[in-house]
């Protein structure tokens, strides 16, 4: 376990898998939250096998980052019966905290992993100091503020709650239209419970009315042939308001997104890290447009949260083109570098890509001498390097030359409005 933090605010990032964990830490997260293969609320994420948690935790601790494990799904008797050996294994892995919402899970954690801190999930809907005090008296060291709280509500809670109790609040990511995420719609419509980690996001679907006397005839909720996305919440974006949350007493700024890919995690963590380190939010704001998102808002922090009833899906300014795996001086001897990267979206010879690294500067990378690097084949032998005009084989490796020195783990992105 890591030594308990003494400086705040903490930047807490989602780690839906190993690649996301590595990206979060490399791009500036102070802590990550993740799940193993049970008891978390994001079962569609890659997550971690229980046996892989020790290595993931060691990787984080080596970078002086902490690891919190989500155990916040709705717990029934069978879940609680299976929980003790799970808790013991996670404690042996050295994780720093459990995120819980069930009182039974909290009590078992105290019995079977007493050295691990306990954080109370937003699923518990802690929105007043009395509730926070009760959780603290039961052994919690931190509560995650209910998402329905305003900045003023959090300040009032902070003033009245025990001083040593830490407060965590979401600052970025998808919002749920239900109270602190405790939604029954997915379970009712699909049989897959969001409270068990299997949400199908029916709040994002298009809905229309059916008139009882005219079966088969559909009537849009609004004048739109596609219907209306009446429960489609805006994504949260508090990049420009971190000072308000810090002044209200928030100790940990939490980014949502355990279903997101590493490129998303790196991009968002990088933006928030820069602002926390002193960069003006206005200088960084466009970076959050580069990743896939719904229209942004400030949630409940300054009033009622807003919906996006006319919007279907996501928008983005950039696509993740490739991830750098290696970079070395080119054999040409002209000061260029030879980059090896794994492709995720199409890019071409001559394209200018943008290189995302932990440093503030976004490097411009011109692709030259693009080549496909085929994987070894047990059948017909393939050449080691095939010159191509376009990189379009997803998850396969390509090489090219450029004038910028890059580093393994850098992300290359391409603007979506670039003409081909």
pLDDT tens string 227-245? 455 567 789 999 999 999 9
Q: What is the pLDDT of residues 277-298, one digit of tens each?
A: 999 999 999 999 999 999 999 9
Structure-model confidence comparison of residues 176 and 185, the more confident one: 176
What pTM was computed for the model?
A: 0.87
**pLDDT score, position 223:** 42
Query: pLDDT tens digits for 329-350?
Result: 998 778 899 999 999 999 999 9
pLDDT at 38: 79
Is the distance from CB of 23 to CB of 269 less than 8 angstroms? Answer: yes
Name residue 235's beta-bridge partners.
296
Distance CA 410, CA 263 (A): 9
Average pLDDT over residues 367-371: 97
Of 66-80, 117-131, 136-150, 180-194, which range is least confident?
A: 180-194
Domains observed in the chain: 10-178+233-297 (3.20.20.70), 318-415 (2.40.30.10)
* pLDDT at position 242: 98
pLDDT in the model for residue 419: 43
Of 4-13, 92-101, 163-172, 393-402, which range is least confident? 4-13
Give mean pLDDT, residues 197-208. Answer: 59
Residue percentage of the chain with pLDDT more than 90:
71
Note the pLDDT tens digit of each residue in 70-105. 998 888 999 999 999 999 999 999 999 999 999 999
Listed in sequence order, the residues at least 6 apart from 216 whose beta carbon sits closer than 8 Å to its beta carbon are: none
């Amino acid at each position: 376990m890591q030594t308990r933090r003494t400086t705040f605010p903490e930047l807490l990032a989602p780690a839906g898998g190993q690649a996301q964990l590595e990206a979060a830490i490399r791009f500036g997260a102070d802590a990550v939250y993740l799940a193993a293969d049970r008891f978390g609320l994001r079962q569609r994420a890659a997550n971690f096998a229980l046996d892989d948690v020790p290595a993931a935790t060691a990787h984080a601790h080596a970078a002086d980052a902490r690891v919190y494990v989500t155990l916040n799904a709705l717990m029934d008797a069978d879940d609680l019966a299976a929980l003790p050996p799970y808790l013991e294994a996670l404690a042996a892995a050295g994780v720093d905290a459990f995120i819980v919402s069930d009182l039974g899970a909290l009590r078992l954690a105290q019995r079977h992993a007493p050295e691990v801190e306990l954080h109370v999930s937003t699923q518990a809907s802690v929105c007043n100091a009395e509730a926070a005090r009760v959780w603290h008296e039961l052994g919690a060291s931190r509560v995650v503020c209910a998402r329905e709280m305003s900045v003023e509500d959090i300040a009032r809670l902070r003033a009245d709650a025990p001083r040593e109790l830490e407060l965590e609040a979401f600052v970025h990511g998808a919002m749920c239209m239900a109270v602190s995420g405790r939604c029954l719609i997915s379970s009712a419509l699909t049989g897959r419970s969001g409270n068990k980690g299997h949400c199908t996001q029916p709040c994002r679907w298009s809905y229309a009315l059916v008139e009882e006397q005219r079966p088969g005839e559909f009537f849009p909720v609004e004048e739109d042939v596609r219907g209306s996305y009446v429960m489609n919440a805006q994504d949260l974006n508090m990049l420009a308001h971190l000072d308000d949350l810090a002044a209200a007493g928030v100790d940990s700024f939490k980014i949502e997104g355990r279903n997101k890919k590493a490129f998303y995690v790196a991009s968002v963590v990088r933006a928030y890290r820069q602002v926390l380190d002193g960069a003006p939010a206005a200088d960084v704001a466009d970076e959050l447009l580069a990743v896939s998102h719904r229209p942004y808002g400030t949630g409940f922090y300054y009033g009622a949260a807003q919906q996006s009833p006319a919007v279907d899906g996501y928008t983005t300014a950039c696509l993740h083109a490739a991830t750098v795996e290696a970079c070395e001086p080119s054999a040409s001897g002209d000061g260029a570098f030879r980059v090896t990267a794994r492709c995720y979206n199409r890019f071409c010879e001559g394209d200018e890509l943008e290189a995302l690294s932990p440093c503030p500067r976004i490097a411009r990378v011109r692709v030259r001498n693009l080549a496909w690097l085929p994987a070894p084949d047990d059948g017909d032998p393939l050449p080691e390097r095939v010159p191509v005009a376009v990189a379009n084989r997803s998850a396969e490796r390509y090489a090219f030359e450029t004038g910028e020195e890059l580093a393994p783990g850098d992300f290359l992105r391409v603007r979506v409005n670039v003409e081909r």
